[in-house]
Structure 1
Amino acid sequence: MDSNTALPLGYSSVPPGQIANVVTCLEMLARPALQAAPPFPPDLHLVALDRSDLAAYRALFRTVGEAWLWCSRLVMPDTELAEILNDPRVDILVLRQANRDVGILELDFREAGVCELAFFGLAPGLTGQKLGRTMMNVAIERAWSQQIARFWVHTCTFDHPAAVAFYKSSGFTPFAFQVELSPDPRLTGDLSEDAAPHVPLIRP
């Protein structure tokens, strides 16, 4: 949908086999004070992504995002994904626990003067331990270490219910709503049918 196209007032039907969610866009226009956060436990480390391993990246993307219906990088052609991952203006860190990747922090600086928090999340079971706050502080520091005037992110109603509040507490301010319509990835086979049980699966 064109971001300038307005939906009519009232209810709009979603075509069979598709899903719709409300996207909240948030931004910060100056570096904020960091929130208090504990250091990572000794078994957790943020490390640079191995940009040559598309399969490992997609496995992490699925681990972190399947519960929230993330699928964009799973269906993206290899050449397009490799171009993003190998762009020096894209900063990607992986949270690693022993030999397992359990979190992702992806900052996109490809627009001059702007940083987008493209992907940010933890594997199931690691939320609620303040690890996200520690990762966000790293994200803020890395973003504002560059010559930017705007740091922004978007989240949606399929995400963790605390996402908007978390971003606001980090210094982001909501500035726009959008409605996203897309094929249900559980019906296309890109995600398992039991992913995101909080989102009803409606077959065509």
Structure 2
Amino acid sequence: MTARSQVMLNLDGYTDLPPGKIASIVTYLEMRDPPARPRGPKPAGWSLQPLRGHLDRYRGLFRRIGEPWLWFSRAAMPDDRLAEILDDPRVEAYALNDGVDDIGLLELDFRREDEVELGFLGVVPGTIGQGAGRHLMDEAISRAFGRPVNRFFVHTCSLDHPGALAFYIRSGFVPYKRAIEVADDPRLLGLLPREAGPHVPMLA
């Protein structure tokens, strides 16, 4: 066991992190039944386009959406592992295209027997507030509960867009668990640009 892994969490106050680490509060949410609300209108020209077999397109969209919020899980994943996930018929990944460019990402994971995970849902900077997120969520809920599942679940963290958690709750998800995630700062590892996530200072 390394010295880093021996740091004890103080449940009644502050816990110092070693240099090079970042931390976030993760909230886990679930939905047992689709919400009883009408779907919003889909803007003309918008389409969901499958990303299976389009690794570079997926990575580019993931970075555009996630870099401001330090999304790093897929940035750290080797190409062969990511391709294995995206090519799995039990995983559905889509780009939301407005007729000109990709503006959103939706990824659903059906690999569990009777549960569906909302792996990723996000929109590129500059499109927040234009209905893209709501459209993606409507699609996610419809596709998740279009199969015989008992639970649709997702998690978000305090590094993400400040409106993300409230958005999930408004969409019908219910929080059920909280955790602390500590990880190496992906900017210091070269996985993300040093200017990514300006709301989280780098401490080398």
* TM-score, with length taken from structure 1: 0.91
Residue by residue, what CA displacement relative to the aligned partner does 1:146-181 show, whole Å, maximum 9, x if unpaired? Answer: 111000000000111111111011100000001111
- 2:132 corresponds in structure 1 to 131
Structure 2 CA distance for aligned equivalents of residues 75 and 165 of structure 1? 28
Give, in whole Å, the separation in 2 of the partners of 1:129 and 1:183. Answer: 34
1:30 corresponds to which of 30, 33, 47 = 33
Aligned to 1:200: 201
Matches within 5 A, 1:125-204: 125-203=126-204
- DSSP 3-state at the match of 2:80: helix
SS at match of 1:179: strand
Alpha-carbon distance, 1:8 to partner: 3.3
Deviations 1:124-157 (A, max 9, x none): 0000112211111111000000111000000000
- Name the structure 2 match of 1:3: none
In 1, Cα distance between the equivalents of 2:38 and 2:170? 8
Task: Please tell me the root mean square deviation across aligned C-alpha atoms, in Å.
Answer: 1.5
Which amino acid in the other structure matches residue 177 of structure 2? A
Cα-to-partner distance string for 1:55-90 (whole Å, 9 max, x where unaligned): 211111101111110111122112211110011110
- Match in the other structure for 1:45: 47
Residue of structure 2 equivalent to 1:21: 24
Q: Which 5+ residue runs of structure 2 have no aligned equivalent?
A: 1-7
Query: Is the 2:31–2:152 contact (alpha carbons within 8 Å) kept by the matching residues of 1?
Result: yes
Q: Distance in 1 between matches of 2:170 and 2:38?
A: 8
Partner AA of 2:10 in structure 1:
P
In the alignment, what sits opposite 1:78? 79
Instruction: Tell whether the 8 Å contact from 1:113 to 1:149 is kept in structure 2 after alignment.
Output: yes
1:73 partner SS: coil
The SS at the match of 2:74 is helix
Q: Which secondary structure state, in structure 2, belongs to the residue aligned with residue 168 of structure 1?
A: helix
Would the aligned equivalents of 1:34 and 1:137 in 2 still touch at CA under 8 Å? no
Q: Is the 8 A contact 2:94 2:107 kept in 1?
A: yes
1 CA distance for matches of 2:141 and 2:86?
A: 20
1:189 Cα deviation from its structure 2 partner:
1.1
Give the length in aligned residue pairs: 196
What residue in structure 1 maps to residue 96 of structure 2? Answer: 95
Deviation at 1:46, TM superposition (A): 1.4
Q: Comparing 140-149 with 76-85, which one deviates more in the overlay?
A: 76-85
AA at the equivalent of 2:88: D
Give the Å deviation of 1:36: 5.0
Distance 2:65 2:41 in 1: 21
Q: Is the 8 A contact 2:104 2:132 kept in 1?
A: no
More displaced, 167-176 or 99-108? 99-108
Are the aligned partners of 1:34 and 1:170 in contact in 2 as well (CA < 8 Å)? no
